Amino acid sequence: MKKISIFAACAFAALGAAPAAAQQAVVTLPANDTIKSLGVSHALLSNMLTARTQADLGVVEENVAVENGKAVITLDKAGAARYSIAISPETAIDFYAAPDETLSVDVTSVNPLDYSVSGTALMEGMSRMEKLLAPVTARQNEIMASGVEPDAETIGKIREDMTKVFNDYVKANPDDPAAVYALLNLSGEDFLDAFGLLGENARKSILFPFAEAQRPMVEQNVAKERMQRELASGKHEAPAFTLPDLEGKEVSLSQFKGKWVILDFWGSWCIWCIKGFPKLKATYEQYKDRLEVIGIDCRDSMEAWKAAVAKYELPWVNVYKEDSNTALLESYGVQGFPTKAIVNPEGKIVDITTGEDPSFYDRLASFISRQ
């Protein structure tokens, strides 16, 4: 099974199971392969739940000899862990195991890497998931191999197709331990809906503590998304603010009533914010007689902000938000960057979009054309 994706490890309670007798993972390589040893690393899932730094993970590394085409990895007695077997500098085999389990890792091809992991319901379910994802991952690999950077729409379609696979897996297999792995690759309301479907057996999965730890943050983000939808209904005044511009002059949103306004929450550290500037500039030029853009810098030092405005030649109104001013982000339900809000000439919010989404500009054009 190839890598699918890496879920976010969130810090909460550690796994508290008592140490059990260690079993093994037996790796079988192709008969004609010449690999003499394998580099194996692992980290306890309990460490992954609480780690704040790379050192906190407590990664253990070892070389395991290959004899007669097989390598035997002794599982850590201390608890459930994530293991990674380096097959080459570019490829690795990842699996999850508890100390009392026995697994088989069967490698059918080293280049390209092709393998399966069996012996536990979790890993066998993940293998089935990999097959379901194969068409999507093949398309993703093809795009990456082309050397052409995909646009936001292409990335969005791939993400949408992957999300469907994970959603469908949980719905079809709610009591499967691997359903938790699928859940951890979901976000927002998809995550919460899938969490509610999990059966008793799935909740015993060694990955379930990650889902429990992640749920409060997802609930918080979903609440922000719902708030944004309500804010963008066209019924609410845009939350007021006054912030300093490049010359230190105070700028208030209320100054721009009578014009369409795009509020662009961004930062110089945000790659997609920067990538979105050309389209935003073109839009500003197209509608500048009726539209103002207010770039609200977030999470930068004042020096970094001013340097970025000059570097990217941002022609609109640019203002600076102190990190301590969290109330402004909360008032617009900002949960990611860039976030763009459209304020109509009456001062009401009609759209809030998180991320660099091409459809934002279609909606803007539709709003302006109606005026």
What are the pLDDT digits (tens) for 342-370? 999 999 999 999 999 889 999 999 999 88
Is residue 15 pLDDT above 50, yes or no? no
- Tens digit of pLDDT for each residue in 149-158? 888 788 889 9
Is residue 298 pLDDT above 70, yes or no? yes
Read off the pLDDT band of 280 (50, 70, 90).
Answer: very high
Rounded to an integer, the average pLDDT of 219-226 is 90
Rounded to an integer, the average pLDDT of 126-154 is 89
* Least confident interval from 10-24, 204-218, 307-321, 357-371: 10-24
What's the pLDDT score for residue 21?
55
Read off the pLDDT band of 189 (50, 70, 90).
Answer: very high
Is residue 232 pLDDT above 60, yes or no? yes
The fraction of the chain above a pLDDT of 90, given in percent, is 78
Q: Which long-range contacts (CB under 8 A, 24 or more apart) does 104-110 make?
A: 104/25, 104/26, 104/28, 105/25, 105/26, 105/27, 105/28, 106/28, 107/27, 107/28, 107/29, 107/30, 107/33, 108/30, 109/30, 110/29, 110/30, 110/33, 110/35
- Tens digit of pLDDT for each residue in 59-90? 999 999 999 999 999 999 999 999 999 998 88
Is residue 14 pLDDT above 60, yes or no? no
Rounded to an integer, the average pLDDT of 289-307 is 97
Read off the pLDDT band of 147 (50, 70, 90).
Answer: confident
Q: Domain 1-116 falls in which CATH fold?
A: Immunoglobulin-like (2.60.40)
Rounded to an integer, the average pLDDT of 208-223 is 95
What's the pLDDT score for residue 219?
95
Domain residues of the chain, as ranges? 1-116, 120-231, 242-370
Rounded to an integer, the average pLDDT of 31-54 is 93
Is residue 1 pLDDT above 80, yes or no? no
The fraction of the chain above a pLDDT of 70, given in percent, is 94
Is residue 8 pLDDT above 50, yes or no? no
Q: Which long-range contacts (CB under 8 A, 24 or more apart) does 62-67 make?
A: 63/37, 63/38, 63/39, 64/27, 64/37, 64/38, 64/40, 65/36, 65/37, 66/27, 66/29, 66/35, 66/36, 66/37, 66/38
What's the pLDDT score for residue 260?
97
Q: What is the mean pLDDT of the chain?
A: 91
What's the pLDDT score for residue 144?
84
Neighbours of 104 (CB within 10 A): 15
Q: What is the CATH architecture of 242-370?
A: 3-Layer(aba) Sandwich (3.40)
Is residue 10 pLDDT above 50, yes or no? no
What's the pLDDT score for residue 154?
87
What's the pLDDT score for residue 88?
86
